[in-house]
Structure 1
Amino acid sequence: MKMLFDFFPVLLFFIVYKTVDIYAATAVLIAASAVQTFGHRMVKGSFEKSHVITLVLVALFGTLTLALHDEVFIKWKPTAINWLFAVVFIGSQFIGKKPVIERMMGANITLPSNVWTKLNIAWALFFIVLGALNLYVAFSFDTDTWVNFKLFGLMGLTFAFIIAQSFYLLPYLKETEKTD
């Protein structure tokens, strides 16, 4: 359910792009990101950091897209977000006692510290690759192809990565079950 909520603004962007144009879709993306961020705050009582970061970048790149009437800015937004997340994941290897992935998932599963480190690095590399792929598609293909990739390609790659991560973690999760 959370993942669907997280993709809500992108889905609305896609629908409005297909029915109107990139500029209307960008305006809807800004509004939907704001609703998502503040809606989470109203329901859960706190802001989710990833929503706030996304909202700031959507507002920045979206406003530039609308003000300058140039779609190149909104095409950079997924790369900026993914690369910023990569920097956070890499930085967490050196700042604090735990990598960010352990801070996010550690309450739900127990893993050896070297596995948390490998998982954290894998996510950082994944975000770097997603950012690079976004730029490749955005500037090698037409806008329609990029919008399709933004929704289906990035989401599909994320699901595939999560499934691969699950297979990687499976032996450790079985170990935890045996010791409980």
Structure 2
Amino acid sequence: MKLLLDFFPIILFFVAFKTWGIYVATAVAIAATIVQIAYLHFRHGKVEPMQWLSLGVIVLFGGATLLAQSETFIKWKPTVLYWLMGGALLVGQLVFRKNFIQSLMGAQVDLPAPVWRNLNWAWTAFFAAMGVLNLWVAYRFDTDTWVNFKLFGGIGLMLAFVVAQALYLSRHIKDGDPTPKDAQP
């Protein structure tokens, strides 16, 4: 359910774009994100900071798209969001000496400090690359191709990155069995 809720605005954006075009799709994405945040707030009493950031970015860039009647702004929205997330990880690591990936996942997974650091750098690089890739597709291809990439390419690359991350982490996660392997009867 949470996964569907997370992708709710982008799926509605995609459907609205295919049906009515970029401007209606942009308005739908803004409305869907507002509904998503309102639902989370009233249902769970808490909205994550990244979700607030996403709402701010879609309202700002979507609003600019609608006011200026220029699809350029909405095409920049994913890049800005990726770069803000990557920038937060970078600033956290370099300025505050805080690993935000570890802060998010540390309660679920016990990993050595170098692995957390590598994970933080990998996510930082991934977000930077996704921002560049979004702009490359936005400016090299037509809007229909960009929208398809936004849904299928962006989600597909994120899924591939998470799977690669899981494979990397599986080598470093400590076994939960407290019995030494050589002490078996």
TM-score w.r.t. length of structure 2: 0.93
For 1:79, the equivalent position in structure 2 comes to 79
Moved over 4 A (4+): none
Counting only pairs closer than 5 Å after superposition, residues 1-180 of structure 1 correspond to structure 2 as: 1-96=1-96, 98-173=98-173, 175-179=174-178
Alignment partners' CA distance in 1, 2:178 and 2:166: 19
- Stretches of structure 1 that go unaligned for 5 or more consecutive residues are none
CA drift at 1:47: 1.4
CA contact (8 A) 1:61 1:73 kept: yes
Question: Deviation string for 1:96-154 (max 9, x for gaps)?
Answer: 45300011111111111111110011001000000000000000000000000000000
CA contact (8 A) 1:36 1:51 kept: no
Question: Deviation string for 1:9-60 (max 9, x for gaps)?
Answer: 0000000000111000000000011111121111111111111000000000
Alignment partners' CA distance in 2, 1:145 and 1:132: 16
- Stretches of structure 2 that go unaligned for 5 or more consecutive residues are 180-185
Letter paired with 2:115: V
CA drift at 1:94: 2.9
CA drift at 1:4: 2.4
Letter paired with 2:120: N
CA drift at 1:95: 4.4
RMSD after superposition: 1.3
Question: Deviation string for 1:71-92 (max 9, x for gaps)?
Answer: 0000000000000001001111
For 2:182, the equivalent position in structure 1 comes to none
Aligned length: 179
Counterpart secondary structure, 1:92: helix
User: Cα gap change, 1:179/1:124 in structure 2, threshold over 3 Å: closer, same or farther?
Assistant: farther
TM-score w.r.t. length of structure 1: 0.95
Identity of aligned residues (%): 47
